[in-house]
Amino acid sequence: MTVDSGTGNMNGAVKASVRGQEGHGGLWESVKKAAFIIGSGLLLLAAFGNSLTWHLQRFWGASGDFWQNLWTKLYLKFEGHDAALFFLGTMLLPTLAFWVSNGLLLLVDMTGKPSFITRYRIQVDKNNPVDPAKLRHALQTVLFNQVFISGPMVVGIYYLMTWRGNPCGPELPTFHWGLMELAMCGIVEEIMFYYSHRLFHHPALYKHFHKQHHEWTAPIGVVSIYAHPLEHVLSNMLPAVMGPVLLGSHLATTSLWYCLALVSTTVSHCGYHLPLLPSPEFHDYHHLKFNQCYGVLGVLDRLHGTDAKFRQTKQYQRHIMLTSLTPLNESIPETPKKVQ
């Protein structure tokens, strides 16, 4: 009995050790994946930005730095009206980015055309087409959040950022420093969004606030900011705005970050796994199952084990960038159910 007990304890210890190694390995893999995504994005942005600047300079025959000259002209036009410049830069451009991307998606959601895009729908039996009454209600809430929540918050953020310096200064940040700030903003958003989002899933808060967002178990792009006003402030806005506030970012970087954040959350909610775009499988699964995949990059989910069920699914296998024209629900189909 003693030998059997010792063997059992030893086997248990070995299994626990293996599980621990798998957990650490899984976390490390998640960290490496996030670093790869961020690093690749920064490299692409750097290459694209430098190339675009060079071509624009040649096209217009501009001398010196094209973007700096463009900013200087804008800065002089708004001289003495920095608050107005900041408001337009952080509301007008991001709002345009949001509605242009969502306008294209809404055409597909409402009409089912072009039909080849519907082949990439993640939850193939949902929103085909989207419920018009449900959509109208969502649009009303989104517009309310943008006008009456985001707008006033941006005004307050301007005065908060002026304590750190002038966010509308005459000189733009260097291109590479801007990229570094974008990466830091992404990290801040991941931390703040994960914990605030998970907090709103607490039963005491969920039924009063976050349940509204989860009315869409199969999300579409525009519902990315379909939320209760309190949730919109604490879980949508704060994680996005705190990076530029902490870093004392220039308006140019702040505006670009807001645009990226809004387009990113649109893609995460769009319901289509389209070629060459970031995979929305992670957050789509969250809407489907509620208690998995709370973050953006997935690092904190791996750390806290809140993606364990997700990693056992076909959705996890499809959670990659699609580089072909074949939809992933065709190349990685669901396992056929066994006939009883």
Digits of tens for pLDDT over the chain (340 positions)? 334 444 444 444 444 444 444 444 555 665 555 565 555 555 555 555 555 555 544 544 444 478 889 999 999 999 889 999 999 999 999 999 999 999 999 999 999 889 899 999 999 989 888 999 999 999 999 999 999 999 999 999 999 999 888 999 999 998 889 999 999 999 999 999 999 999 999 999 999 999 999 999 999 999 999 999 999 999 999 999 999 999 999 999 999 999 999 999 999 999 999 999 999 999 999 999 999 999 999 999 999 999 999 999 999 999 999 999 999 999 999 887 765 5
Identify which of 206, 288, 300, 140 has the alpha carbon closest to the alpha carbon of residue 280: 288
What pLDDT, in 10s, does the model give residues 139-149? 999 999 999 99
CA–CA dist 118, 122 (Å, integer): 9
Q: Which of 242, 207, 203, 243 is nearest to 228 (CA)?
A: 207
- CA-nearest of 221, 183, 194 to 303 is 194
Please check whether residue 181 is in contact with residue 173, taking contact to mean a CB–CB distance below 8 angstroms. Answer: yes
Alpha helices in the chain (DSSP H): 2-60, 66-77, 82-87, 93-111, 115-118, 132-144, 151-161, 175-200, 203-206, 229-231, 238-247, 251-269, 281-289, 299-304, 314-317, 328-331
pLDDT tens by residue, 266-290: 999 999 999 999 999 999 999 999 9
pLDDT score of 34: 58
Q: Looking at residue 51, what is its pLDDT? A: 59
